[in-house]
A and B are shown apart, each in its own frame.
Chain A
């Protein structure tokens, strides 16, 4: 115990030993080789922790095992200190302090080794940047392949629908063609025969419509709508009204315009499909109490967009009950009026595919307003 207390009380004492220069026979070359090499190692050992510390600060978040880095820095630093003592004992024989620092270095190196062995299994699972790049490249390739497969499958699916619709339509078309001929062949005037023929005709035309709607949905998704032109809104609406003469005449609908923008630079086919769906809906779902009236408004909006509103004074939609469902496929809310359940779905899809949006405001028994923002 005396030795231990002696050691610590005389920790800084250098008087008990001769300086190393006088301990044995050192030539100048031998001594300075030893001293300068020790100092060089010491300098390097001091600078290594500085660079490690720099990395630690810069990459604090994503560096694995930060403790190991700190321990390793400390270990190198203490090694450097022992080399420093190795050099200065040539003049100042602080052998006790030297021994103490050797002991501290030994403890730190022991702890470092312990931690190193602990994290080694995890460290082995780490992937190097080139390995990671390889993995990313492989995954990207796989993703591209999967995407191609999906695109191919989608195309096949489209073709399947067209082929099936063609195969289904051929015999039904033949039925309506045969009914046409039958009507020419048999003398008219027999009410029950005429009724039967009429029923066959309407049945086959309903079947054709159903198939036509199916391919219609497909067209909304695949049609590029690239016939961009400056579409004159009023002319287009006139065109739509002309194509639906019977509906327009029977309903005695009035169309009014409040157009702040007379033209829209848009796909004419797309806009025609949108407007004819909304106009025909407004007429079909008119209020039995009033003469139907449709107001078409347009305003300029931000970023060269155009707002287009179609308002009617019809039955209105109970939005609390149906809400956004009115834009869903095959959703129908009136069973006394014929419809396919794809009109508003197509309208929304066409607008959204072009980067626009559509919303609806409605009051039951007062009317509805469809508000569109169209991207020119």
Chain B
């Protein structure tokens, strides 16, 4: 599989982040992994790294959960789209969720999304991510 420079995990479920991080580390696919627990923190992280513009830290791939406290996945996408409309050219966003609601899937279609992955992250599902790169 192709390597990914940097991944940002956005999920309030710490166990889920733990699983994704452990799997990614085990497969040795990624150099930098950073996890935040809601959309607000994710925006803050992106802003800081966008200013520094260090290619190694700015995430190449974002795994985004939808249901989160403070700022959920949809609000994150809305604000990201407003401040950085060309985000899709810089990083690929994959929705990583347990939701099966057609409403949620429909709402995601309004934004530039690289894929919709159901939890938990597995080696097989990661192949889709590296193929989309």
Contact = CB atoms under 8 A, between A and B. Distances in A.
A173 B13 CA distance: 11
A181 B98 contact: no
Contact of B119 (A159, A177, A219): A177
Chain A residues touching B, range:
20 to 34
**How big is the B interface, by class?**
20 to 34
B100 A215 contact: yes
A52 B71 CA distance: 77
A178 B99 CA distance: 19
Contact of B101 (A162, A170, A184, A212): A162
A165 B100 contact: yes
Contacts of A174: 13, 15-16, 19, 119-120
A166 B101 contact: yes
Nearest to A155: B103
Contacts, number: 61
Contact of A184 (B20, B26, B102): B26
A169 B119 contact: yes
Nearest to B11: A170
A173 B15 CA distance: 10
A322 B103 CA distance: 37
B16 A173 contact: yes
Contact of A159 (B15, B22, B26, B101): B101
A107 B24 CA distance: 108
B13 A170 contact: yes
A181 B119 contact: no
A127 interface: no
A162 B100 contact: yes
Contacts of A166: 67, 97-101
A159 B99 CA distance: 11
B100 A177 contact: no
Contacts of B102: 219, 222-223
B103 A159 contact: yes
Contacts of B15: 171, 174, 177-178
A180 B122 contact: yes
A376 interface: no
Contacts of A165: 100
A357 interface: no
Interface string B26-47: 1000000000000000000000
A176 interface: yes
B47 to A, nearest CB: 28
Nearest to A162: B101
Given A162-B104, A184-B26, 5 more contacts: A173-B98, A174-B13, A174-B16, A181-B22, A222-B102
